């Protein structure tokens, strides 16, 4: 103990524990803490050399607002005793976003490889100051900066966030606020999604009905919802971003996701309309007519105005989720295919995209599209944004095209925490494992996507934060070794900054994780794990809402019968997150081997090969982790019952329908038995009698009842409808079949 006391005294005398060091997100590539502090006072000079007036003014405005000082940037002025000096030195690094920050007790020197590098370094400098530096009012803080030496640069050139202002309109000042938040965390791209089926948000002077009609929808309750940005407002937003070294990339969706535009100008559709701005979420069959030359003139006129508004070298054209049904039925589109010698509608989509790409290239812009633009052949100068996993990126870089990665597995921040939490985002690897060294250089970076179907403006903060903190660190520091626990602690200390910024951040993860275990004797255990430390979990099994007086979880739950688990987490006497809910239903083949003869989607696994016999029932959220998805394919499962003396007279299977997302109930359920595993005899056949047209999200169980059976093998088949029907908005697209449990009783 005496030796420990001496050691602590020595460390404190050296300044190691004399101050609580700030945390930095993202972490710099090279950081050396030293002893001492630089004190920012009213007498501190803010000096800059070269073309850095914008960056110096930006820094002065933030400092003056919080400190109450009247700091005025001076170009190459005479240094006093404690100046802040901003400089450019392009020789420090080829990367234009690189910077070096050196703080001594007498001086702060920030050198950037370009003005952008200086701006990124300013964000690090601000994070070295107390959180109150981001405040809008004067604070009485002591403005001290620890002595430090930092050399830093980003790994990826594209570090972005998609903000969907089409499904839900976001106010101009809200968009500007997110530009600030991106800048504070060293992101450099705002991907602005401003046209959709549910709303056209950009003023186009040549086509006024795009905003007069397309920007507004009539909700189910009869209210009129919408909004748009005038060209003057867009110029203001874009300049605000330019001043903060954020590139704004507009997305003008084509040829699909275009019903709002077609509601305004139906003559550019395949049928001529009339249409209304869509009120549902999903994918719809009304798309631009590829056989009408007027369509391309219409789009080129729109893009001409877009190009004038956005200095970005890139224009995003979407290109995703394009149902081909209208093209297949359209005489003009069929003639186009014949004239251009196109074999199918995928090649027609490629023709459409390539024609737009040539127009953009002629106007010195590069086209970006979602990975569907690969179908039918990729346009020469196109950049692929891969969202359906990493396959789109892999295919793009193999052909020498750049790729931006934002897969649904890690980057979709509209998804709940049960699908993507902070730790999962932090584990994201933007580089496909299949890439060689040359191909790795074609991965430009990544984005986090904030789609707004279920996230109007007031919910965006809680969806984006704190998850974006993990994304910005991955994209900035990769491939540095990652320590999630250490990162988690830095996030906890970063929250005071977010509070001063006014960010209504959400949680890091689900407050409760449920794990299911099967014991050797066949019994089951449900184990509850707290998502973060220091949580108390209170639960009920009868479906009632738990409170602090409910049973506290300490040992695994061993349910003997069906139950409905509800759990409320508490931290320091306050509720933490929403109530966790999980239905559980045991049955005769619970935990048994199920041989899946068809392949489930890697995006909707339900938990893996035993997902359909784990007793865990799905909810109306098809992303809750309990649903196993099959696109186009049937469900075919065989149970080997040879070592089990089972007598059963019922097989029930739980299904889900939400036709807006192309998820339908099966055509029918068939049950067969066999003694040798080769020759099967049908013992039950149940047709689904619920219409695929029925709207909304709902669960349905098909039950097959029969005389008692004892067999060596049991085969269960559910027939997928395979394609969205002709009446459906995405007619002709492959349909989904979602299953949560096969119950044998």
Residue 420 belongs to some domain of the structure: yes
Query: What is the pLDDT, as a whole number, of residue 5?
Result: 34
pLDDT band at 606; cut points 50, 70, 90: very high
Last residue of a domain, one of 541, 563, 584: 584
Q: CB atoms < 10 A from the CB of 610, how many?
A: 16
**Are residues 563 and 602 part of one domain?**
no
Task: Give the integer Cα–Cα distance in Å for 125 and 145.
Answer: 8
Contact 110, 87 (CB under 8 A): yes
Neighbour-count burial of 720, counting CB atoms closer than 10 A to its CB (0-12 exposed, 13-18 middle, 19+ buried):
buried
Query: What is the pLDDT, as a whole number, of residue 20?
Result: 77
Q: Which domain holds residue 676?
A: 586-745
**Are residues 166 and 34 part of one domain?**
no
Query: What is the pLDDT, as a whole number, of residue 603?
Result: 86
Residue 7 belongs to some domain of the structure: no
User: In terms of Cα–Cα distance, which of 336, 340, 381, 337 is closest to 358?
Assistant: 381
Residue 14 belongs to some domain of the structure: no
Task: Give the integer Cα–Cα distance in Å for 613 and 165.
Answer: 41
**Are residues 697 and 625 part of one domain?**
yes
Can you read off the two tokens belonging to residue 143? 């403005």
Last residue of a domain, one of 465, 495, 525: 495
How does the average pLDDT of the chain come out, rounded?
93
Residue 445 belongs to some domain of the structure: yes
Q: What is the CATH number of the domain that holds 596?
A: 2.60.120.1190
**Segment 588-617 mean pLDDT:** 91
Q: CB atoms < 10 A from the CB of 662, how many?
A: 21
**Are residues 726 and 617 part of one domain?**
yes
**Are residues 627 and 696 part of one domain?**
yes
Task: Give the integer Cα–Cα distance in Å for 212 and 331.
Answer: 30
- Which percentage of the chain shows pLDDT scores above 90? 86
Query: What is the pLDDT, as a whole number, of residue 459?
Result: 97
Last residue of a domain, one of 527, 556, 584: 584
Contact 724, 731 (CB under 8 A): yes
Can you read off the two tokens belonging to residue 508? 């890091």
Contact 697, 454 (CB under 8 A): no
Per the rule left: phi > 0, alpha: psi between -120 and 50, beta: everything else, 257 is left
Task: Give the integer Cα–Cα distance in Å for 237 and 231.
Answer: 10
pLDDT band at 339; cut points 50, 70, 90: very high
- Which percentage of the chain shows pLDDT scores above 70? 97
Residue 350 belongs to some domain of the structure: yes
Instruction: Give phi and psi for 542, each to the nearest 5.
Output: -105, 10
**Are residues 389 and 531 part of one domain?**
no
pLDDT in tens, 623-671: 888 999 999 999 999 999 988 878 899 999 999 999 989 999 999 999 9
Q: What is the CATH number of the domain that holds 304?
A: 3.20.20.80
Neighbour-count burial of 2, counting CB atoms closer than 10 A to its CB (0-12 exposed, 13-18 middle, 19+ buried):
exposed
pLDDT in tens, 293-310: 999 999 999 999 999 999
Residue 432 belongs to some domain of the structure: yes
User: In terms of Cα–Cα distance, which of 737, 708, 701, 705 is closest to 721?
Assistant: 737
User: In terms of Cα–Cα distance, which of 229, 216, 248 is closest to 170?
Assistant: 229
**Are residues 300 and 209 part of one domain?**
yes
Q: CB atoms < 10 A from the CB of 620, how many?
A: 11
Can you read off the two tokens belonging to residue 49? 């050399």
Question: Which helix (H) or strand (E) is 515 found in, with range?
Answer: strand 512-518
* Model confidence at 594: pLDDT above 90: no
pLDDT band at 373; cut points 50, 70, 90: very high
Residue 11 belongs to some domain of the structure: no
DSSP letter string over 6-72?
Answer: HHHHHHHHTTSSSS-PPP-SSPPSEEEEEEEEEEP-TT--EEE-SS-HHHHHHHHHHHHHHH-----
* Model confidence at 13: pLDDT above 50: no
**Are residues 121 and 111 part of one domain?**
yes
**Segment 355-378 mean pLDDT:** 96
**Are residues 562 and 414 part of one domain?**
no
Q: What is the CATH number of the domain that holds 133?
A: 3.30.379.10
Query: What is the pLDDT, as a whole number, of residue 80?
Result: 72
Contacts of 718 (CB under 8 A, 6+ apart): 634, 635, 653, 655, 666, 668, 669, 670, 702, 737, 739
pLDDT in tens, 269-290: 999 999 999 999 988 989 999 9
pLDDT in tens, 524-577: 899 999 988 789 999 999 999 999 999 999 999 999 899 999 999 998 888 988
Q: pTM of this prediction?
A: 0.90
Distances (CA, A) of 597 to 121, 384, 638, 666, 701: 56, 34, 7, 17, 21
SS3 track for 201-253: CECCCCCCHHHHCCCEEECCCCCEEECCECHHHHHHHHHHHHHCCCEEEEEEE
**Are residues 488 and 361 part of one domain?**
yes
Task: Give the integer Cα–Cα distance in Å for 411 and 444.
Answer: 15
DSSP letter string over 311-379?
Answer: --SEEEEE--S---HHHHH-HHHHHHHHHTT--SHHHHHHHHHHHHHHHHHHTT-EEEEEGGGGTT---
Can you read off the two tokens belonging to residue 457? 């403006």
3-class secondary-structure state, position 165 = coil
User: In terms of Cα–Cα distance, which of 525, 528, 509 is closest to 517?
Assistant: 525
pLDDT band at 12; cut points 50, 70, 90: very low
Residue 504 belongs to some domain of the structure: no
**Are residues 326 and 281 part of one domain?**
yes
Higher per-residue confidence, 438 vs 733:
438
**Are residues 641 and 558 part of one domain?**
no
The count of structural domains within the chain is: 4
Contacts of 656 (CB under 8 A, 6+ apart): 618, 620, 622, 627, 663, 665, 697, 698, 699, 700, 738, 739, 740
pLDDT band at 8; cut points 50, 70, 90: very low
Q: What is the CATH number of the domain that holds 552?
A: 2.60.40
């Amino acid at each position: 103990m005496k030796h420990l006391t001496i050691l602590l005294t020595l460390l404190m005398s050296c300044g190691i524990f004399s101050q609580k060091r700030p945390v930095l997100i993202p972490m710099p590539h090279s950081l050396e803490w030293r002893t001492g502090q630089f004190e920012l006072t009213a007498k501190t000079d803010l000096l800059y050399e070269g073309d850095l007036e914008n960056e110096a003014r930006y820094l002065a405005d933030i400092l003056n607002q919080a400190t109450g000082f009247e700091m005025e940037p001076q170009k190459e002025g005479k240094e006093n005793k404690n100046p802040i000096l901003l400089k450019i030195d392009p020789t420090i690094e080829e990367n234009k976003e690189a910077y070096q920050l050196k703080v001594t007790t007498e001086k702060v020197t920030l050198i950037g490889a370009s003005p952008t590098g200086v701006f990124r370094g300013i964000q690090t400098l601000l994070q070295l100051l107390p959180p109150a530096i981001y405040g809008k009012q004067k604070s009485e803080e002591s403005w001290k900066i620890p002595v430090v030496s930092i050399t830093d640069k980003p790994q990826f050139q594209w570090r972005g966030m998609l903000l969907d202002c089409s499904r839900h309109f976001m106010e101009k000042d809200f968009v500007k606020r997110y530009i600030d938040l991106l800048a504070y965390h060293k992101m450099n791209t705002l991907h602005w999604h401003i046209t959709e089926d549910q709303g056209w948000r950009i003023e186009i002077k040549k086509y006024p009905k795009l905003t007069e009609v397309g920007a507004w929808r009539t909700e189910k309750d009869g209210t009129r919802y919408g909004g748009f940005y005038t060209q003057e407002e867009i110029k203001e937003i874009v300049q605000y971003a330019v001043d903060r070294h954020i590139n704004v990339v507009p997305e003008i969706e084509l040829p699909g996701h275009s019903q709002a535009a077609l509601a305004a100008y139906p003559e550019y559709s395949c049928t001529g309309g009339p249409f209304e701005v869509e009120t549902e979420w999903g994918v719809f069959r009304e798309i631009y007519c590829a056989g009408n030359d007027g369509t391309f003139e219409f789009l080129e006129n729109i893009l001409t105005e877009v190009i004038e508004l956005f200095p970005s070298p890139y224009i995003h054209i979407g290109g995703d989720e394009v149902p081909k049904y209208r093209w297949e039925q359209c005489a003009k589109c069929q003639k186009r295919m014949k004239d251009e010698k196109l074999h199918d509608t995928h090649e027609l989509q490629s023709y459409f995209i390539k024609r737009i790409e040539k127009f953009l290239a002629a106007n010195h812009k590069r086209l970006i599209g979602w990975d569907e633009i690969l179908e039918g052949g990729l346009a020469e100068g196109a950049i692929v944004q891969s969202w359906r996993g990493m396959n789109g990126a892999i295919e793009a870089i193999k052909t020498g095209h750049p790729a931006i990665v934002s897969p649904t597995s890690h980057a979709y921040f509209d998804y709940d925490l049960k699908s993507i939490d902070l730790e999962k985002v932090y584990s994201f690897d933007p580089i496909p494992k299949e890439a060689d060294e040359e191909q790795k250089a074609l991965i430009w970076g990544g984005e986090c996507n904030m789609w707004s179907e279920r996230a109007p403006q007031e919910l965006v903060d809680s969806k984006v934060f704190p998850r974006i903190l993990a994304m910005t660190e991955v994209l900035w520091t990769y491939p540095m070794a990652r320590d999630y626990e250490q990162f988690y602690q830095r996030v906890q200390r970063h929250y005071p900054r977010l509070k001063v910024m006014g960010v209504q951040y959400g949680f890091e993860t689900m407050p409760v994780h449920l794990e299911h275990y099967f014991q050797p004797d066949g019994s089951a255990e449900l184990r509850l794990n707290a998502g973060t430390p220091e949580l108390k979990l209170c639960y009920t099994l009868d479906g009632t809402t738990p409170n602090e007086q409910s049973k506290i979880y300490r040992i695994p739950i061993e349910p003997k019968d069906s139950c409905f688990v509800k759990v409320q987490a508490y931290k320091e006497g306050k509720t933490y997150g929403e109530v966790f809910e999980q239905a559980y239903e045991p049955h005769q083949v619970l935990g048994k081997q199920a041989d899946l003869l068809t392949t489930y989607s890697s995006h909707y696994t339900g938990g893996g090969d035993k997902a359909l016999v784990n007793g865990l029932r799905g909810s109306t959220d098809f992303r809750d982790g309990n649903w196993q998805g099959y696109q186009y394919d049937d469900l075919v499962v065989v149970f080997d019952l040879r070592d089990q003396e089972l007598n059963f007279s019922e097989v029930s299977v739980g299904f889900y329908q939400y036709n807006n997302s192309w998820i339908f109930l099966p055509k029918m359920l068939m049950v067969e038995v066999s003694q040798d595993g080769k020759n099967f005899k049908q013992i039950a056949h149940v047709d689904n009698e619920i219409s695929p047209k029925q709207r909304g999200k709902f669960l349905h169980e098909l039950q097959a009842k029969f005389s008692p059976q004892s067999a060596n093998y049991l085969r269960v088949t559910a027939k997928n409808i395979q394609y969205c029907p002709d009446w459906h908005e995405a007619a002709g697209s492959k349909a989904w079949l979602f299953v949560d449990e096969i119950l044998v009783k």
